[in-house]
Amino acid sequence: MTEAVETRTTTYREAMREAIREALQRDERVFLMGEDVGRYGGTFGVSRGLLEEFGEERIRDTPLSEGGFVGAGIGAAIGGMRPIVEVMTVNFSLLALDQIMNNAATLLHMSGGQINVPLVIRMTTGGGRQLAAQHSHSLEGWYAHIPGIRVLAPATLEDARGMLGPALEDPDPVIIFEHGSLYNMESELDGDAPPVDLTSAGVRREGDDITLVTYGGTLPTTLAAADELAGSGIAAEVIDLRSLRPLDTETILASVRKTRRAVVIDEGWRTGSISAEISARIVEGAFFELDAPIARVCSAEVPMPYAKHMEDAALPQVADVVAAAREVVGSRP
């Protein structure tokens, strides 16, 4: 007789907090550092209560200097610690891009395999919260361009809870992108949620008519679009990338070979985007299986507006995904 697994309703924010708490309890080398992670409880409330539980040595508030504290995290990782560095939003991470790209991502190669950098960087990404142009962009594709780092985008509570542990065990740098619109998302989660695989994409919904490829904050939008398409007789398969570097190309291609049509949904800008890379890989690996051109649904190529109606117009919406999918399916023989 199997034991019943306890489930509870929780949020994405709380799942991520629990993952950090478990990591701190499991390994004394783990510590969290970043702007406002301690007394304030994190800009988005993820680290609330951890300072009181673990103390200032392991929950470290830093100055407003992304290049400084990311560099300190790299040094701590080289020195044998397992730092979790929180960067408030992806836009501000550009101030630490030199440390991430020229140090964290390259030291293993430049040292001839002698220096690993077991660093985890967490940062919030994405729009939809009226935080305007300096706090709302999706730059994950920029980081997925860099060899030497792993790039993750948990879109479910299970992944928010389960990705951090394996990421901390990776001997090389890992960046975890948390979409700001997901923090309040509620769902049931097993009390003993296990670690998850960091290398494979997830099939979140099965279908035979078209493949919808997405990740992170646009997964709920894509699933809602799949529901609407189902109402008109179109069965969409939804692929959640989960990992942006490396990409699980085989799962994408297997789905496209089945459905013979694809739409890629990406909150990044269209030009030079992760959606462009996925489209190229589909063409390279499944061109002769396609019955229609690949479509893309991306953000408008503008700085993110503040006004709600303009922000909504700039971001991928359910109606945009539905329209793109119907156009692609409409071209079937």
Known active-site residue 66? yes
Provide mean pLDDT across the span 211-216.
98
CATH number at residue 294: 3.40.50.920
Give catalytic status of residue 22 as yes or no: no
The answer to whether residue 2 is domain-embedded is no
pLDDT tens digit sequence for 38-49: 999 999 999 999
Same domain assignment for residues 59 and 146: yes
State the catalytic residue, choosing from 14, 66, 178, 311: 66
183, 212: one domain: no
Q: Taking residues 130-137, what's their average pLDDT? A: 92
As for how many domains the chain has, the answer is: 2
How high is the pLDDT of residue 4?
52
pLDDT of 258 strictly over 80: yes
pLDDT-derived band at 331, boundaries 50, 70, 90: low
Strand ranges (E), the chain: 7-11, 30-34, 59-61, 82-89, 120-125, 150-152, 174-179, 186-190, 202-205, 210-214, 236-240, 243-245, 262-269, 295-299
Query: Among residues of the chain, what percentage have pLDDT more than 70?
Result: 97
What pLDDT, on a 0 to 100 scale, did the predictor assign at position 3?
53
| pTM (predicted TM-score) | 0.95
Q: Are residues 167 and 53 in the same domain?
A: yes
One domain, residues 110 and 216: no
CA gap 48, 42 in Å, rounded: 6
- Mean pLDDT (whole number) for 223-235: 97
Q: Are residues 229 and 303 in the same domain?
A: yes
Question: How large a percentage of the chain has pLDDT more than 90?
Answer: 93
Sheet bearing 82-89, strands edge to edge: 59-61, 30-34, 82-89, 120-125, 174-179, 150-152, 243-245
Distance, first Cα to last Cα, the chain: 52
The pLDDT tens digits for 170-185 are 999 999 999 999 999 9
* Domain around 15: 7-190
CATH assignment at residue 27: 3.40.50.970
One domain, residues 215 and 286: yes
Q: What mean pLDDT is reported for the chain?
A: 95
50 and 170, same domain (yes or no): yes
Classify residue 197: in a domain, yes or no: no
Cβ contact 228:324 at 8 Å: no
Answer yes or no: do 23 and 162 share one domain: yes
Domain-terminating residue out of 125, 158, 190: 190
Q: Quick check: 328 pLDDT over 80? A: yes
Same structural domain, 223 and 172: no
The label of the residue with tokens 């799949």 reads 226
- Say what the pLDDT of residue 107 is: 97
24/315 Cα distance (integer angstroms): 36
Give the confidence band of 333 by pLDDT, cuts at 50, 70, 90.
very low
Question: Which of these three, 190, 220, 237, is where a domain ends?
Answer: 190
Q: Which of 18, 35, 86, 135 is catalytic?
A: 135
Q: Within a domain: residue 40?
A: yes
Same domain? For 252 and 214 the reply is: yes
Is 174 within the bounds of a domain?
A: yes
Residues 103 and 53 in one domain: yes
**Mean pLDDT value of segment 73-100:** 97
Taking only the tens place, the pLDDT of each residue in 30-76 is 999 999 999 999 999 999 999 999 999 999 999 999 999 999 999 99
Neighbour-count burial of 19, counting CB atoms closer than 10 A to its CB (0-12 exposed, 13-18 middle, 19+ buried): buried
> Which residue, of 165, 190, 215, is where some domain finishes?
190
Q: Looking at the domain assignment, is residue 195 inside a domain?
A: no
Q: Is residue 35 domain-shared with residue 129, that is, in the same domain?
A: yes
In a domain, 287, yes or no: yes
